[in-house]
Amino acid sequence: MSDVTCARGVELLMDYLEGVLSAGVMESIDRHVGGCPRCLAFIASYRETPALLRDATAEEIPGDTKRRLDGFVRSLSERPRES
């Protein structure tokens, strides 16, 4: 496990935020997110979502959250750049 890319970061962010990843992976993501405004913004918006809401809608993502997630993923695929 070396550098984390945005695409891989998105895959891992949920686990990252739950704190269930190994220390080495967490460290790699930390390093990427520290220099990546997009991943940082994604994490910030995720953390703004109340945990209660996330639990209650585990199978159904709220429209607003889904829109932001879609937009984020789209921005990654439109401009696949490493920072």
d(CA 69, CA 52): 19
Task: Tell me how many residues contact Zn ion (CB under 5 A).
Answer: 4
Coil, helix or strand at residue 42 = helix
Residue with Cβ nearer Zn ion (9 or 28): 9
Residue with Cβ nearer Zn ion (27 or 56): 27
Stretch that binds Zn ion, among 4-12, 13-21, 22-30, 60-68 (CB under 5 A): 4-12
Using the rule CB under 5 A, is 39 a contact of Zn ion? yes
Using the rule CB under 5 A, is 76 a contact of Zn ion? no
DSSP 21: S
Mention every residue, 6+ apart, whose C-beta is less than 8 A from residue 4: 12, 28, 29, 31, 32
CA 29 to the chain's CA centroid = 10
CB of 39 to Zn ion, least distance (A): 3
Residues forming the site for Zn ion (CB under 5 A): 6, 9, 36, 39
